[in-house]
Amino acid sequence: MSKDNQQFTDLLIPRTIDGIIGQDVIKRKLRGYITSKNMPHLVFYGQAGLGKTALSEALISEWLKGLNPTEKERCYLIIKASTQKERGIAVINEYERFCDLPSIGVPFKICVWEEADGLTSAAQKALKDLLSNPLHSKNVRSIFITNYINKLSPELRGSGGRCELMPFKKVQENVMLKWLLTSIIPALMNLKLINEESREKLIVNKAEVLVNIVKVSDGSPRAVLRKLQTYVQSGIISSTDEEYTLNPFEMISLALKGKIGESSRIADKLIYSDGVNIYSLLNDLRKIVQKEDIKELRNIYKGELLMYLKDLQSSIFLGVSDEMILSGLIGKCVVLGTMNNEDKLKHKEVS
Ligand SMILES: Nc1ncnc2c1ncn2[C@@H]1O[C@H](COP(=O)(O)OP(=O)(O)OP(=O)(O)O)[C@@H](O)[C@H]1O
Ligand SMILES: [Mg+2]
């Protein structure tokens, strides 16, 4: 995939603890653990997009600094308890096998439990028993990650004081604004993902656009990056709560260019991985298409696309599936894109 099609959130992953914004108390404690080479089990919890996963990865990379790649491989394990395969007792066996490997070069290996609240109760119980067994905790520390602390079993949460609770907080608006201006925009310029002209647009009038993006992002740096990307690519600031891992406009744009396969892959991801609300997705797309500065389409086809998006919204209430709706949309865009190109050709022939 060319970097133009990639998400800002994937291109701008903070690799160090200092690269994470906000969460000052947590970062201070983690730096202390690294210096003292000692660490309790941790629970990272809080709303989506605050950097829990990114910070766990930065911590691992700083904790394992100096080890060679093979040693590193042996010293951490990431378990994502949201997938069916990794929710049950089998994963506890995998964890046990990991515990049995010697830790080389570090006092503790690290196991990250992503979406830890997704573990079955049998798995949580078995895990709690392992955590209370001093032999097992000897050379492994766990980081439990969850959005909702209450969903984590009290045994794991407390583990008799064995786990340090680390609540992730919304990031303050002024901190995010400074981050955008001093770190994100220069990085995007370096990656050639924005040019001088777009940069000017972002910072004109006391950075009005950035201020607005931050305001609708509810303290989440991930939401800020996604909304910034949507703005850079399409000129709108999406205000819905919907968070897309892939830009839905890209789906339309690829279809207009006749790239059905790539466009369908985005549609599948939006429906099956992100589980988007199809009604607000169509709303966002209508807002984007309404903007004047979309290169792909002449105005008459833009009007047709807008009407089609509205029809699709009505069809939701008739029970048409999300998949059918997005396939219809992709088909329509392919046709409109072709007609648009034919018009352009004709225009060239005439002139
Ligand atoms: N505090 C932060 N500082 C810098 N970048 C951040 C921060 N939080 C999020 N991001 C950006 O958003 C991306 C996604 O964040 P991350 O996956 O770590 O959030 P999360 O808290 O784990 O969310 P979820 O609860 O949905 O898993 C990061 O890769 C990074 O680009
Ligand atoms: Mg995460």
Q: What is the DSSP string of 93-152?
A: HHHHHHHHSPP-SSS-EEEEEETGGGS-HHHHHHHHHHHT-HHHHTTEEEEEEES-GGGS
Can you name the residues that pair with 41 across neighbouring β-strands?
Answer: 163
> Closest residue (by CA) to atom 16 of ligand 1?
51
**CA-based max dimension of the chain:** 83
Q: At what angle do helices 248-256 and 278-290 cross, to 10 degrees?
A: 60
Domain 23-167 CATH class label: alpha beta
Is the pLDDT confidence value at 112 over 50?
yes
| Unique residue bearing structure tokens 């980081």 | 143
Residue nearest ligand 1's atom 7 by CA: 51
pLDDT for the residue 292: 56
Distance of CA 12 from the midpoint of ligand 1 (Å): 10
Domain ranges across the chain? 1-6+170-239, 23-167, 245-351
Q: Over the stretch 115-160, which tens digit does the pLDDT of each residue have? A: 898 888 888 888 888 887 777 778 899 999 998 888 888 777 765 5
> What does pLDDT average to over the chain?
87
pLDDT bin (cut points 50, 70, 90) of residue 109 is very high
Q: Which atom of ligand 1 is nearest to the CA of 171?
A: 1
Assess whether the region 23-167 and the region 245-351 belong to the same CATH fold. Answer: no
pLDDT tens figures, 281-300: 898 888 888 875 666 688 88
For residue 177, what pLDDT is reported? 97
> If you measure from the C-alpha of residue 69 to the centroid of ligand 2, how many angstroms do you get, rounded to a whole number?
24
pLDDT at 43: 94
Is the torsion defined by CA of 218, 221, 224, 226 positive or negative? Answer: negative
**Rg, C-alpha atoms of the chain:** 24
pLDDT band at 44 (very low <50, low <70, confident <90, very high): very high
pTM of the predicted protein model: 0.73
pLDDT band at 170 (very low <50, low <70, confident <90, very high): very high
Ligand 1: distance of its center to the CA of 225 in Å?
A: 10
Residue 301 has pLDDT above 70, yes or no: yes
Which residues surround ligand 1 with Cβ inside 6 Å? Answer: 9, 12-14, 20-23, 48-54, 147, 171, 221-222, 225
pLDDT in tens, 313-337: 999 888 888 899 999 999 999 999 9
What percent of the chain stands above pLDDT 70?
90
For residue 12, the ligand 1 atom closest to its alpha carbon is 31
pLDDT for residue 45 is more than 60: yes
Q: What's phi and psi for 295, nearest 5 deg? A: -70, -35
Residue pLDDT, tens place only, 241-289: 555 666 788 899 899 999 999 999 999 888 876 767 788 889 888 888 8
User: Does the domain at residues 245-351 carry the CATH identifier 3.90.550.10?
Assistant: no
Residue with CA closest to ligand 1 atom 8: 51
- Which ligand lies nearest to the CA atom of residue 169 in the structure? 1
Going by pLDDT thresholds of 50, 70 and 90, the confidence category of residue 67 is very high
